[in-house]
Amino acid sequence: MPPSDEHSTAADLDRVVELLAGKRIAVLSGAGLSTDSGIPDYRGEGRVVRKPMTFQEFRSDPAKRQRYWAGSHLGWRTFAAAVPNDGHRALAELEREGIVTGVITQNVDGLHLRSGSRRVVEIHGSMDRAVCLTCGQVFSRSDLAATLDRANPWIDEPGSVQLQPDGDVEITDVERFVVPDCSVCGGVLKPDVVFFGEFVPAEKFRESVSIVADADALLVVGSSLTVNSGVRLVDHAVRRKHPVVIVNRGTTRSDRRAAVKLDAGTTETLVALASRLGAVVAGTGTGTGTGEPGMIVG
């Protein structure tokens, strides 16, 4: 980073600390927070623009549902192996110190809860569960993954899966992929996440609004705010005259509404912010690139 950029970033961080010091902070997190845990984001620089499957397609087309589950099953292995990074741990410590009032996350990886955060609203659901669209029965994703492995032993055969340049996977013989039905009623199983074309559950959005209302400021980390639910939460904060701070690589839809926009990485910024606001965070050093192993430094 050129010296002028370093000076600008340091000055912006000073402004963030001055703005947030002594305030109770609500946090809205997005995919940029989990990139240091090895989970790629959706819209980062160089990403191929993808057309996600809609809920209507998933529900109505068995072939598309089969293709979705094949790719999702392989992707689950990456999710299951991911661990929280120092940014997640910094937020958990800020909550223990009473500085952060709660985390609203657009991520479905479960890393906030695994890092020790207690008040977490997974506004788009979680990949560690699956739900039956007919009877509502909820299943553990790890148990379902074991069932899928048994039903599809060929999935690990050489040549059955091709890695694409953008990191996605292509199943070469997807029509062979067996998707189990609900063991309770025989209905269709779906990961317990919000698809495009679905609404965020009303009770989750109400709880998210409550977290924003109970705080004095809103900190957005790692989100481009492309999804309307995030923009609406920024709207709620602005209407209450709560200052909004955005930390994200690249522009967001709400940059002009932020009191401070910091174009920086989330992990290092959260670690520095936690230190400056008085929280002492113990972690593994994941994603910071600085400090002794097992330590986080500001």
Residues whose CB falls within 8 Å of the CB of residue 54, separated by 6 or more in sequence, listed in order: 195, 196, 197
Give the model's pLDDT for residue 74. Answer: 82
Domains of the chain: 1-39+84-124+200-282 (3.40.50.1220), 47-81+126-193 (3.30.1600.10)
The model's pTM is: 0.85
Q: Annotated binding residue at 182?
A: yes
Q: Annotated binding residue at 132?
A: yes
* Residues labelled as active-site residues: 124
Per-residue pLDDT of 132-190, as tens digits, reads 999 999 999 999 999 999 999 887 765 555 544 434 556 667 888 999 999 999 999 99
Q: Annotated binding residue at 257?
A: no
Q: Give the mean pLDDT of 202-216.
A: 97
Per-residue pLDDT of 264-288, as tens digits, reads 999 999 999 999 997 655 554 444 4
Q: Annotated binding residue at 135?
A: yes
Q: What percent of the chain has pLDDT over 70?
A: 82
